[in-house]
Amino acid sequence: MTILHGVSFSVAAGEAVAVVGVSGSGKSTLLALMAGLDTPSSGGVRIAGQDLFALDEDGRAALRGRSMGFVFQSFQLLAAMTALENVMVPLELAGADGGRDKAAALLQRVGLSERLHHYPKQLSGGEQQRVAIARAFATSPSILLADEPTGNLDAATGAQVIDLMFELNRERNTTLVLVTHDETLSARCGRVIRLAAGTLQA
C-alpha cells in the first residue's frame, strides 16, 4: 500500500513548517521518513546535502544523534529516570562533556529548575512535555521534528509549550517541522504543508 505519492518540498534552515491534514493523510509517515526511521520504496530525503538513505542504519542513527531532536505527543520520557537524567540521555549518547550541567541549564530554561529530581509520574503533562522539549534541544540539533506536541495537553498548557518551542527555535535557529491538528500552532509557522490522501495540496 502506498501511503505518500509524489510528495516533494524543501525546508530552509531556521524555517518553521507545519504539516497538517486529517488522520490517515500520511503526516506521521512523512515525519518518520524525514527522520530516516522509515525507508521509502522510492525517492529520498536529503539533509544538508546528505542523502539519508545512502547511509546504513548506523549512519542514519549517527546523523539523527548529531542533527535532530524529537518531540512526541506521548512525551516518551523514561519512567525510571528523573527529569535531569532524561535530558542527559542524548548528551551522554553524543559523548558530550558537562552533560549534567547542560541538562540542568536547559531545564532551568524551560522553567523546571525546581523539578530536576522529579520522575515523570511526579510531573504534570505540561511539565513532562517541557522535559521532552529540553531533551530534544539538548544536543543543539539543527532540526527539530515534532509530532502533535500539544496533542495531550489542555489549551493553556499547549499554548505555553508552543511559546517555548518557538522561543528556542529563534534562540538557536533550529529548523522546526511540526505535525499538528492545532490551528493555533500551524498559524505560528512560516509555512503550512497540507497533506490529503498522501499527496501535497496546493
* CATH code of the domain covering residue 74: 3.40.50.300
pLDDT > 90? residue 103: yes
pLDDT digits (tens, 9 = 90+) for 40-85: 888 889 998 889 999 999 999 888 888 899 998 888 999 999 999 9
Could you tell me if residue 168 is inside a domain?
Answer: yes
Q: How far apart are the first and last CA of the chain?
A: 24
Q: Per-residue DSSP letters for 93-138?
A: HTT-TTHHHHHHHHHHHTT-TT-TT--GGGS-HHHHHHHHHHHHHT
Could you tell me if residue 110 is inside a domain?
Answer: yes
How many structural domains are present in the chain? 1
Residue numbers of the domain that contains 158: 16-201
Could you tell me if residue 60 is inside a domain?
Answer: yes
Nearest to 81 by CA among 59, 101, 96, 100: 100
Per-residue confidence band for 202, with pLDDT thresholds at 50, 70 and 90: low
pLDDT digits (tens, 9 = 90+) for 143-184: 999 998 888 888 888 888 888 889 888 888 899 999 998 888
Could you tell me if residue 7 is inside a domain?
Answer: no
pLDDT digits (tens, 9 = 90+) for 60-69: 988 888 889 9
Could you tell me if residue 6 is inside a domain?
Answer: no
